[in-house]
Chain A
Amino acid sequence: MMLTPQKLRYDTNALSRSLLTPRFDYADGALAMHAALAGYQTKTGRFVTAMWVRVRNRGNIGYIEIKDEVSGQYRRTLPEGVSPTKVIDIEVDPYLGAANKLLIELTRLISSLAAGRVPNICGTQERIEIQRMPQSFWSELEQQLARVQTAIAQTYNSSIVAARSERLQPRLLEMIKKKDAASVQQEMEDLGRSISELRSLYAADATLVAWATIYRDLCHEISEYCKKSKMSAPEAAATYIRYVAFGATPGGVTDPIGLTLGLLDKTAREGLHEISATIAERYFDEGSDLIEEALGKRSLDDFGEALYKAGPLLFAATRVFKSLIEGNRPTVPESSAATYAKRANVAEEQAVRVNTSLLNMLENRAGVRWNSHQARVGEAQSKGPKAADEEITRIIEQNYFYPRCWERYLRGHTSDLPPLECTDSPQKN
């Protein structure tokens, strides 16, 4: 098999993006789930779609709806109205470690190709060849995977949060002494920027980005709110300090999700839920715009890049809206809670689709998903144009599996892999 450098780079990016959106354990769990479903299908000959599944994972039991290859929200109990007799049982292997295996396999493959060897495709006798590439090409890929490996380590996120907290503390003391917020504000801006940079280098998962973004934006919005309200300057400065300091307590919490939830809980308790809702709305809009942008791309790699950027924003929007409705929220009026609940639901749905699409790119490295999508469209085409249109809508507009330009390839002649670029010329036979 002849591998192109473009395909290798795309596969490396697809793996990196999926493992970091929202975070490593999501991809790991989803891959383990897919393996369990595939096992069920092989054993029973039944294809699992539009069904509720009872998932056993070690001692835990939960329920999840599988719909159009997209897994819905995981629930502890079966929702009302779903008949328990129609639920199928799946046992997930918690030790499968599929995501990590893929990372190790790809790292080995790249090292081997970089050394000029002709390795076998894992588990087969088929050889993989690639044209001669400059050393810089190989080291870029190797470094990228090394950064992903670092970013998915268990203590990585906490170490980043702790380091940023340490940087903030002297500035906070300075602010208290000089009554000047400028240096703290600058530090907060730098925090958001530096974590975004890590993300673009494939060294930050979506939860870390969401923490930095929410922390920065919430503190900024609270500062603006204080300025506009009738608070005195010292009072406003004290409020701002309280919020910044909440996320930068010496020896305090360093888990980004825990910190984010704590901060959001604080705003809700203090009756500032509208500020949280404002930033969540912004994240949702930006994330949705990125999805739209992604669907208009003409390269699969650009498509994946736009969805990779959308991931943390939609994760953040979901977390914020959920925080406003979960638990005891006496400061959030019932009418607002209903709005937030709806928004949390939509944001989560979008986030899940983005995560699943990134996973689809990863699982499509050998074209398995692509073949099944083309077969589905082909089968629908035999039923008529309406059925084919619906199938295309399902694959592209509902599940974001490919950009819109791929419609003609989905309808076209079958191919082993989806093309990496959409060209203007008609598809070759």
Chain B
Amino acid sequence: MTDEQLGAAVAGLQDAAADLRGTLVREITWFEPPDAKNLDPISLAAGFGLVLASSFLAGFEEEARRAAKKLGRQSFRWLRGMVEKYFRTASSQPKKQKSNSEEEEVSHLARDAANTAATLDPETYQQILTATEERLSEELQATTAMPKKRAQDLSRKIRTAAEKHVLAKRRQRK
């Protein structure tokens, strides 16, 4: 695992977040806690794209592990926590930068998922992507009150962005 891989994963995550920004500006209300005050969707959406793309990658990693070791369904167990934490920080200290440890955690997560993707055969890779997308959609519905179709659409967009900018890029470099 090299610094180059880490750098590529971070850049990929940022590109994925940029792809999601337009969508998230419209969808962010679903995630806002009831006591959210005067949050600006534009500044929120940029950071929140990172949260959702990372969440997808974490789910992908867990889904791959589950497929390999036949573990139980645990994907996205941390989605809710990440969302809550993100809005808590945004509400109280909108200008606060992410701490180094948080950034590192997300970068490692993206790199690990990308490395895992690079080891999978095409069929398994697609199966895991689809399973991750479905699981994320279910979790979005449970976490946000988002209607099913809306959650499916958003989940598909998150998958596309994460796949295009992080997973597929790493597979191409394999």
Q: Which residues of A contact B (CB under 8 A)?
A: 50, 81, 281, 284-285, 288, 291, 338-339, 342-343, 345-346, 349-350, 390, 393-394, 396-398
A288: chain B residues at CB < 8 Å are 150
Chain A to chain B contacts (Cβ below 8 Å), 25 pairs: A50-B40, A81-B38, A284-B147, A285-B147, A285-B150, A288-B150, A291-B26, A339-B145, A342-B30, A342-B145, A343-B147, A346-B30, A349-B29, A393-B21, A393-B22, A393-B45, A394-B25, A394-B42, A397-B23, A397-B25, A397-B26, A398-B25, A398-B26, A398-B41, A398-B42
The 8 A CB mask of B1-27 against A (1 = contact, 0 = none) is 000000000000000000001110110
**Choice from A284, A342, A397 contacting B22 with Cβ under 8 Å:** A397
**B residues 46-100 in Cβ contact with A at 8 Å:** 46
Tell me if B173 counts as interface (CB < 8 A to partner A): no
A81: chain B residues at CB < 8 Å are 37-38
A345: chain B residues at CB < 8 Å are 29
A345 to B38, CA, bound (A): 15
Select the residue from B29, B37, B147 with max chain A CB neighbours within 10 A.
B147
A338: chain B residues at CB < 8 Å are 145
Smallest CB separation, B22 vs chain A (Å): 4
Contacts A81-B37, A343-B147, A397-B23 known; 8 new A-B pairs at CB < 8 A: A50-B40, A81-B38, A285-B150, A291-B26, A338-B145, A349-B29, A390-B42, A393-B22
Smallest CB separation, A104 vs chain B (Å): 36
Residue of A nearest to B18 (CB): A389
A397: chain B residues at CB < 8 Å are 21-23, 25-26
Tell me if B149 counts as interface (CB < 8 A to partner A): yes
A350 to B28, CA, bound (A): 12
A350: chain B residues at CB < 8 Å are 26
A169 to B102, CA, bound (A): 66
CB atoms of A343 and B37 under 8 A apart:
no
Residue of B nearest to A386 (CB): B46
Residue of A nearest to B22 (CB): A397
8 residue pairs, one from A and one from B, having the closest CB atoms = A397-B22, A342-B145, A339-B145, A281-B147, A398-B25, A397-B25, A346-B29, A81-B37
Residue of A nearest to B29 (CB): A346
B46: chain A residues at CB < 8 Å are 390
CB atoms of B150 and A393 under 8 A apart:
no
The 8 A CB mask of B131-166 against A (1 = contact, 0 = none) is 000000000000011010110000000000000000
B150: chain A residues at CB < 8 Å are 284-285, 288
Smallest CB separation, A372 vs chain B (Å): 17
Smallest CB separation, A343 vs chain B (Å): 6
Residue of B nearest to A348 (CB): B29
A50 to B43, CA, bound (A): 14
B42: chain A residues at CB < 8 Å are 390, 393-394, 398
Select the residue from B41, B43, B45, B144 with max chain A CB neighbours within 10 A.
B41
Smallest CB separation, B38 vs chain A (Å): 8
Smallest CB separation, B148 vs chain A (Å): 8
The 8 A CB mask of B97-124 against A (1 = contact, 0 = none) is 0000000000000000000000000000
